[in-house]
Amino acid sequence: MNKSTVHLIFLWAAVLAAGSLLANAASAGGRAADERLLQYSIVGSSSCDRTPCFNGVMARIPVQRFLLELAEGPMARAKAEARDLGAAGIADLLKLRLVRFDGDRYLLNFALFTAADVGRIREVSERYAGSLAEALLARRADIETALRAYDVPGVDPGSVAYFLLGCVSLDWDGLAVTDEKKYRKTTEERFDGSYVPAAEELGETSLEKIYWGSHYEEFSGVHFTSFGDHHALPRMLFPDLLWNVPGLSSRYPEAVRNAHRELLSDSLRRGGAKIGRMMLALREGPKAAGDLARAAGTDEDESRVFLRLLSVLEYVREKDGWYETRIPVLTGRDAVMTAELRAIGRRVMEQWLAGNYDRLAADLDGLSFTRSGVPFSEGFTMIWHYLFGIVNRKLVEAGLFADPYEPGRAFKGALPAVCDLDL
């Protein structure tokens, strides 16, 4: 899959999360007049070097209110053009192809999901996710055989399965498969680039245990990923912690904030790369602090700062002066296992989608954007996220995957992984 597309899909998930937090904080009495109504994102690439800019236009509260009205049905030309939408008004929406003009009325022209739409998607996805989870569990023996190749003491094989099947396969490969098979639209020429926009009405539906959100960044060839739901935020994991510069919110535990302050004495990228090299060294087995310092290319004083942070975050454990990893760390030694698991996931997804996509689309007929004539495929990116996120919850419940909410886990809702494989 094209990496820039993947990155923007991650941003879409992050925007959904941020919107959910704001929605849950809304008072029961309703929103203020200037409070945003929509969370929005794109898949693809866009630029604000020219106007109108998608993000700038979508940030206007009158625009959000207008688009939600269009989601209910077409609007007469005179009424629509009388609305005060800021800047160039409805002309901006036409240029960005967020609306279209048909006869003497305006219609919605992109995938906007109302709160009612999201409720339907959640309900239908719960039903369909069962058969996809069962299809993966039918390959459980093959999956567990492949996982036996991962022989790192102290690492739960279920956490390896969670990362490679739940994140890399269902999320990343799933987005590639649905693109390749034309189940979802990923790019479309619009005003200033190639992208597909989407928006969702802010609501109060919990995202707890819908495991769909991958946060990813590469530091000098080392790949950090956190994967989980967007209910438990902020994540006390990498790369999320490396994005919180120059400091951490008081929402983080004091031990994390204290260790992180020391880490920030180094540059972000240099520190991230060193931590990554330490973790990669632990793929080979337990190491002393001096060995890890040499692997990271640093001195023992600095390595102790890193190891304190990694210990607090439950990435490593120490016993009698030796450190071992507690999380999946994947290197070239794991390439065959990784390929085997991804092949299983891809085959299951391809077969399941071939047999279920049309029925799923029929069961979701009448969503706001499809009533306006927007293709179902244009909204399938978000629908797929709900679907595979619920599948992942079911695979946790079946015991194939490690549980991000396992009792005794200090930081719940997501699990980390570190690798030097280009996934």
The full DSSP string for 285-316 is S-EEHHHHHHHHTS-HHHHHHHHHHHHHTTSE
**Cβ(383)–Cβ(198) under 8 Å?**
no
Output the average pLDDT for the chain: 87
Residue 225 phi, psi (nearest 5):
-135, 140
pLDDT at 195: 86
pLDDT at 282: 97
pLDDT at 28: 33
What SS3 class is residue 250? Answer: coil
| Identity of the residue numbered 242 | L
pLDDT at 269: 58
Both tokens assigned to 303: 């390595």
Q: Edge-to-edge strand order for the sheet containing 99-102?
A: 75-76, 105-108, 99-102
pLDDT at 250: 61
pLDDT at 118: 96
What SS3 class is residue 223? Answer: strand
pLDDT at 7: 33
First-last CA distance in the chain: 9
Alpha-carbon gap, residue 84 to 103, rounded angstroms = 22
Q: How many residues does the chain have?
A: 423
pLDDT at 216: 92
Q: Which residues fall within 8 angstroms of residue 246, CB to CB, at 6 or more apart?
A: 264
Residue linked to tokens 């706001």: 368
Residues of the chain with pLDDT under 70: 1-34, 188-193, 243-252, 257-270
Q: CA 417, 143, 167, 387 torsion: positive or negative?
A: negative
Residue 315 phi, psi (nearest 5):
-80, -35
**Per-state percent for the chain, helix, strand, coil, to nearest 5:** 50, 15, 35
pLDDT at 31: 56
Residue linked to tokens 């997804």: 349
Helix (H) or strand (E) holding 368: helix 368-371
129 closest CA partner among 384, 415, 350: 384
pLDDT at 184: 94
pLDDT at 232: 87
pLDDT at 344: 98
pLDDT at 99: 96
What pTM value is reported for the model? 0.86
Both tokens assigned to 85: 């939408």
Residue 215 phi, psi (nearest 5):
-110, 130
Cα 408–Cα 409–Cα 411 angle in degrees, nearest 5:
140
What SS3 class is residue 369? Answer: helix
pLDDT at 249: 59
Alpha helices (H) along 26-162: 54-58, 61-72, 77-81, 90-95, 115-137, 140-147, 157-161
Both tokens assigned to 391: 């599948």
